[in-house]
Amino acid sequence: MGYAALSKEVTLSLDGETRTVSSMGSTVGDVLESEDIEVDDKDIVSPGLDEKVDDGTRIAVRFARPLELEVDGEVRTYWVTSTDVDSALSEIGRRFAGADLSASRGAEIDRGGMSLTVVTPKKLTIKVGKDKRTKREVAGLTVRDVLDKLKVDYDKDDIVKPGLGTEVSEGDKITVTKVRVSTKRVDGESIDFDTVEREDSSMYEGETETVRAGREGKRDVVYRLTYRNGELFATKVVKADVLRKPVDAIVRVGTKQNAPNFAGGSTVWDQLAQCEAGGNWAINTGNGYYGGLQFNLSTWHAYGGSGYPHQNSRETQIAIATKVRDANGGYGAWPGCASKLGLPT
């Protein structure tokens, strides 16, 4: 009777599971100890351990458990008292709306805790093959995850940048270049011949003479063709059987310098040359004036002439003289002869 008088009926709730126990303990701590229930400072006990208990007291214990959270590759451990994933995320203030979780939100978390992987959605720019770039929000940790989520087909020949194993971040750009490789066989393909030039000092510059005509060769060849996004990118010979070797052409090429052309004509310039130098375009009188139009060196060089005037062809002397005339508005550079010939000065 004495035991019955001292004993108390207490309702005990452990992580939401409730039972009624009889205890002689006078405090919450006593009751838990009598039931072999150990708690530490991470657990939540209500009322507190030092609170007195009476008959009918309700004691609630929520045990802390570790939640190892890996978010986009970064790991952090939280201690939570929630017994399911969704409640635990609410408890730590991280809901991760739209994210991919390695366990369902309703999954239970036992006293041993849980490791939970979270992949958050990221805004990415995607380009596949010839398609235009598009912006997509995808929950994927790596490029491979993103492409699989978007159901993008790719194979070992395709070029994916960044690489499939690369972790993605907000704003990243992913490009998939579609690569197709095929082979092509060509029978009897022509092989171009080369031309071998042999210098010949007995021939003038610009003169050539074919010593031996070239002849094309023939071959059977297999090409490997690489296409990127539908367009031919590279062609490589993988096998070739030469049926006939090409024969090089041999050409003689003159190296002898041509003498300047001093032949006369019937132009105004020829008339001036006749007056100035007796029509001799190659004259060097030794008085500081040269050629058919009797240039001095300063004027000759000022208007683009090279070397000495009399060493240049008639055509070159006329070209320089034309510049002088146009710059002066007439033939005033040759006043005496211009006057005799009635040319404007």
pLDDT, tens digit (0-9, with 9 covering 90-100), for 129-176 = 999 999 999 999 999 999 999 999 999 999 999 999 999 999 999 999
pLDDT tens digits, one per residue of 192-232: 999 999 999 888 777 889 999 999 999 999 999 999 999 99
Closest CA relative to residue 71, chosen from 118, 133, 112, 39: 118
pLDDT tens digits, one per residue of 307-329: 999 999 999 999 999 999 999 99
Alpha carbons 323 and 300: distance in angstroms, whole number: 10
Q: Which residues pair with 200 in a beta bridge?
A: 254
pLDDT over 50 at 253, yes or no: yes
pTM, to two decimals: 0.55
- Residue count of the chain: 345
DSSP codes, 273-321: HHHHHTT-TT-B-SSS-BTTTTB-HHHHHHTT--S-GGGS-HHHHHHHH
Q: What are phi and psi of 158, to 5 degrees?
A: -70, 155
How many percent of the chain have pLDDT more than 70? 96
- 12-21: average pLDDT: 94
Residue 73: predicted pLDDT: 87
Domains in the chain with CATH codes:
8-62 (3.10.20), 65-119 (3.10.20), 121-177 (3.10.20.90), 181-256 (2.20.230.10), 268-341 (1.10.530.10)
Residue 263: predicted pLDDT: 61
20-51 in b/e burial notation, b at 16+ Cβ within 10 A?
Answer: ebebebebbbbbbeebebebeeebebeeeeee
Contact at 8 Å (CB) between 92 and 67?
Answer: yes
**Mean pLDDT of the residues in the chain:** 92
User: Do the bridges between strand 231-244 and strand 217-228 make them parallel or antiparallel, or are there none, so unpaired?
Assistant: antiparallel
- 33-57: average pLDDT: 94
Is 32 in a helix, a strand, or coil?
helix
